[in-house]
Amino acid sequence: LHGDSYIEFSSMNPSNAAKDMKKMKLPQNIQDTISPATRLLEKRRLMYEVQEAFEREKQNFNKKLTSLQTKEDELKTKDFEIQKSLISFGQALEDLRKKSESADSKAKKEDEEIKIKDQEILKKKEELKTLSEISQMIERKEAAMHKYEEFLEKVKFQYSDEFAEMTDILSRYDTLKKTNKGLVEANVKLQEDLDILTNEASTYEKEKTNEVLRLNNDIAVLQKDLEKIEDEKNKKQKEVEDKVKNQRIQSKNLSQIIMAINNLYWKCDDQRKGIKLRIEKEGSDLEPFGTPTSAMEKAESQLDIIGEFIKHYTCIMDEIKKMEKGHPPAPGDHIKKANPTKPHQLTS
């Protein structure tokens, strides 16, 4: 709905009319004097007016709807006509395309036929050229045969005692030709045999060359292995030499240590013989000198004795210091100090 009709319809709407009625209320004193029947009639009158306005608007709407449907039908008709014209135009274009394709295919066929004919013409020209050359060659051969015939006549006349007829010359020629052919074939066979032998010799030479190369490679690999083994041998030999050298150094050091221990031992032994230790009087556990089974055991026993001697010597020095200070030691005190453990428990 558009325009004045919409405004008129909205103004004649029952709800709007009710609102207008509320706005146009009479004063309270006048409303009290109006009867309910009058009020009902007034409401019916307003309702009839609204109904009439609605009917008028409905008629206007139906008219506009009818005009719009008419326009829609006209547009559909025009659209159908346009579609029909487009279909006809498309068919015309398709026909035109088919005609163009057929014309193009005909032109291509004609071009192909022209090319085929041109090729045939060239082929015929080549055949004609070949036949002309063959004809010329035959003519040259015929001319040459005349020369040969004249030459054979001269030979027959010159060697009339050997060749009575020309056929004798030709038979002699055939014989010589067959002999020459046999010799050529024999030569070809011999050449083939020579080629076979040459190939076999070449193959044998290649095989032997490959075998020599393989053996050289094996020799190179074995040489590398030998070098590795030699290197390992040299390393092991060096390690052995180093070990022997270290053992010699250790043996030398050990010998020096044993000699030093032996020297100290004999000094202590000399002192021991010159001074009788009180540890012997008290019955010490010190074992007498024996014959050890090895130099190490002997050195250990000597070290035990040296350690014992040093401890006794230290105790004696302590007693002397105490005596100098005026504190005499108790009897057997130096024995207890000198023998806290057994001799075999002492260390170097």
> Which is nearest to 169 in space by CA: 179, 180, 158?
158
* Burial class of 265 by CB neighbour count within 10 A (0 to 12, 13 to 18, 19+): buried
Cβ 122 vs Cβ 130: under 8 Å = no
Tens of pLDDT, residue by residue over 51-110, are: 998 998 989 999 999 989 899 989 989 888 898 888 888 888 888 888 888 888 888 888
Distance CA 62, CA 99 (A): 55
How would residue 185 be classed by pLDDT, with cut points 50, 70 and 90? very high
Buried b (16+ CB within 10 A) or exposed e, 220-257: eeeeeeeeeeeeeeeeeeeeeeeeeeeeeeeeeeeeee
For residue 14, the model assigns a pLDDT of: 44
Distance CA 298, CA 283 (A): 23
> CB atoms < 10 A from the CB of 148, how many?
10
Distance CA 19, CA 13 (A): 10
Stretch 137-166: mean pLDDT: 78
Segment among 44-48, 148-152, 271-275, 286-290 with least mean pLDDT: 286-290
Segment among 187-201, 265-279, 326-340 with least mean pLDDT: 326-340
For residue 159, the model assigns a pLDDT of: 77
Distance CA 109, CA 111 (A): 5
Assign 70 to helix, strand or coil. helix
Integer distance in angstroms from the first to the last C-alpha of the chain? 131
Distance CA 174, CA 225 (A): 75
Distance CA 155, CA 166 (A): 9
Distance CA 34, CA 27 (A): 11
Assign 329 to helix, strand or coil. coil
CA distances from 298 to 113, 126, 248, 269, 301 (A): 128, 126, 21, 14, 5
